[in-house]
Amino acid sequence: MIITLENGKTVRGDLLKKAVVRSDLAPIPLTFEGQIRVTGDTGKYLAEGRTLTVNQDVFKIIANPEDTKAQLVQGKQGVEFKQVIALLNNCHTAAFISAKAIIKEKTSLAAIYKAAGAGLAGIDGDVTVPYFCCLAGSCPTFPLAQVLQEQGGVLRWKNGKMAFFRIGDLFNQKPVLTLPDTGADTLSNGFLARHTVPSFYSLADDGSFIYGNRDKTRSSYYVPNKNAQQLQNMSRCLIRRKIINRIDLAPAIAAGDLIGFAGGQALAVITAAHVFESDGAHSKQYTRLWLGEALT
């Protein structure tokens, strides 16, 4: 894991206590968390508002939750660590409270991000969004997540690009990795899924009911101003099925990739966490994966 500060200097591995790059299928698809030892003037380059580059991705530091001064002493000085939380720089502004309302009709995901101040060049596979509303004093990522649910899709960041995928299309890819069907925590509970993932219904202009997915008995919710396709899409999601607690560090794996299993069903990566940890004497590097299947 190569971390470069704004001044162009690379953070040495022995100065890293912990670093995690987390890839998610979310409106902010890439985040970084780290605990970095402060030496010389590095502290000011790890402050809120600064940027840092991890591998090839640029992050904006949004918080320094807790600075710690360890009991360890080198020479006559305590060892100080700075905690850093950072978001993908291209779209970090979408995570801030909006000072103005963002209301758009028949727009695109890229246009919504641009209105929220993001610097995305574009979104591969972009779609037409019938209506988007983020009121002043609200955070754009929440209505963005609702739009993705209505479209039955997800956003992913890989190889320096943002892309939109329908949930079903994730499973048309070739697996980036095949693992033995052992060594994973397997989760499966249809009862909880039916309670957690509801069906939706709305009203047409003539007052008649429009229903979404009612193939199975689930909890049901009313949402206004939605068409049949949106209602169907809103019940499509990824259900977590496996957790791969640890494999060798594989930073090329991103959320949205497909993982195959020998003799089993391929699953999509919901979250990939790439971790570096050090206790001062030994270091560990690994990747942890949360995997899911499509629920339609």
Per-residue pLDDT tens over the stretch 263-279? 888 999 999 999 999 87
Mean pLDDT score, 200-204: 93
As given in the structure block, the two tokens for residue 204 are 């047409």
Residue position matching structure tokens 């229903």: 211
Provide the percentage of residues in the chain whose pLDDT is more than 70: 92
This prediction has a pTM of 0.89
Task: Write down the pLDDT at residue 216.
Answer: 80
pLDDT at 39: 87
Q: What is the mean pLDDT of residues 5-28?
A: 93
Q: Is it the case that residue 109 has pLDDT exceeding 70?
A: yes
3-state SS, residue 289: strand
Cβ atoms of 129 and 144 closer than 8 Å: no
Q: How confident is the model over 182-193, as pLDDT tens digits?
A: 766 666 666 777
Share of the chain above pLDDT 90, in %: 73
pLDDT digits (tens, 9 = 90+) for 37-93: 998 888 899 999 999 999 999 999 999 887 665 545 555 566 788 999 999 999 999
Q: How far is CA 241 from CA 52, 148, 155, 268, in A?
A: 34, 21, 20, 10
The pLDDT value recorded for residue 68 is 62
Model pLDDT, residue 184: 65
Q: In the β-sheet with 209-211, what is the strand arrangement from edge to edge?
A: 209-211, 199-203, 220-222
Lowest-confidence range among 90-94, 110-114, 132-136, 197-201? 197-201
| Residues composing the chain | 296
pLDDT of residue 211: 92
Tell me what the mean pLDDT of segment 135-150 comes to: 97
Domain ranges of the chain: 3-92, 96-170
Task: Give, as one character, the DSSP assignment of residue 10.
Answer: B
How confident is residue 218, by pLDDT bands cut at 50, 70 and 90?
confident
Report pLDDT for 13. Answer: 85
- Give the CA angle between residues 239, 243, 244 to the nearest 5°: 140
Mean pLDDT of 95-101: 96
Is the domain 96-170 a CATH 1.10.3470 member?
no
pLDDT (mean) for 16-33? 96
